[in-house]
Amino acid sequence: MDNRDLAQGESQQTIGILGAGRVGTAIARLAVAAGYQVKVATSKAAAENELIIEIVTPGAIAVEALEAATADLVVVAIPLHKYKSLSAEALSGRTVIDAMNYWAATDGDIADFENTELSSSEVVAAYLSGSHVVKSFNHIGYHEMEPDAAVSGSPGRRALGVAGDDVGTKERVARFLDAVGFDSIDTGDLASGKFFEPGTQIFNGSFTSAEFSRVLKTGLVAV
């Protein structure tokens, strides 16, 4: 999808992506295609990632994690069990999209996420206490991100949930989602991210914004 025109209002923004795995690289390619300046980092030194970033996400640049954290909007796409390896200090004051999920099968049982009523993003937000955390991108498979991205207004365009405590921050994230190819549904505060965590109907399906809203209200849309 070439959605550059859509991104015009946001195209001067930088997008930092922490994690250069399946999800991080897919979002990076979408953001590059939408005209953003994209900086990708892992826990490794930028020099170690340069070649792979050039090949896998052409147009994005490999940076140190601390530099990615200074972007206007930061996507966190790392295995959840590593969330405390993020620099809460570097991310303080930043808009952070939490694309992570708690999968005991791959993350192992983590007490922080097992013994709590909190959504996983609330746990992450408690750690990133100075950041404006929004949950999104977690309920779409990495392999669906590029094929399902569509220009704004396309019939059947897929919608992604946006949960967060600050309305203005959610609006910024919604504009980013729109620019890279998705409608968005504001599900409410960060706690409402539970509605699209693993095991939910929304997590297991693919929905337009109308369908997504209906699932939220009634839970009646079949997966």
Ligand X SMILES: NC(=O)c1ccc[n+]([C@@H]2O[C@H](COP(=O)([O-])OP(=O)(O)OC[C@H]3O[C@@H](n4cnc5c(N)ncnc54)[C@H](OP(=O)(O)O)[C@@H]3O)[C@@H](O)[C@H]2O)c1
Assess contact for 78 and 102: CB atoms under 8 A: no
85 binds ligand X (CB under 6 A): yes
147 binds ligand X (CB under 6 A): no
77 binds ligand X (CB under 6 A): yes
Number of Cβ within 10 Å of residue 54's Cβ equals: 13
Candidates 10, 13, 19, 94: give the one binding ligand X (CB under 6 A).
19
Of 52-60, 74-82, 128-136, 172-180, the segment contacting ligand X by CB under 6 A is: 74-82
180 binds ligand X (CB under 6 A): no
CB-nearer residue toward ligand X: 141 or 156: 141
CB-nearer residue toward ligand X: 62 or 99: 99
Burial class (CB in 10 A: 0-12, 13-18, 19+), 129: exposed
Candidates 10, 15, 16, 24: give the one binding ligand X (CB under 6 A).
24
Minimum Å gap between C-beta 43 and ligand X is 3
Candidates 58, 141, 156, 168: give the one binding ligand X (CB under 6 A).
141
Q: Alpha-carbon torsion 207, 199, 17, 76, what sign?
A: positive
The one-character DSSP state at 16 is: E
- Give per-residue burial for 29-51: e unless 16+ CB within 10 Å, then b: bbbbbbbbbbbbbbeeebeebee
Report the C-alpha gap between 37 and 28 in whole angstroms. 9
Burial class (CB in 10 A: 0-12, 13-18, 19+), 127: middle
79 binds ligand X (CB under 6 A): yes
Cβ partners under 8 Å of residue 104, min gap 6:
110, 114
Minimum Å gap between C-beta 10 and ligand X is 22
42 binds ligand X (CB under 6 A): yes
Nearest residue to ligand X on Cβ basis: 21
Minimum Å gap between C-beta 207 and ligand X is 15
What angle, rounded to 10 degrees, do the helices at 167-180 and 22-33 form? Answer: 80
Residues that bind ligand X (CB under 6 A): 18-24, 41-44, 65, 77-80, 82, 85-86, 99-101, 103, 138, 141-142
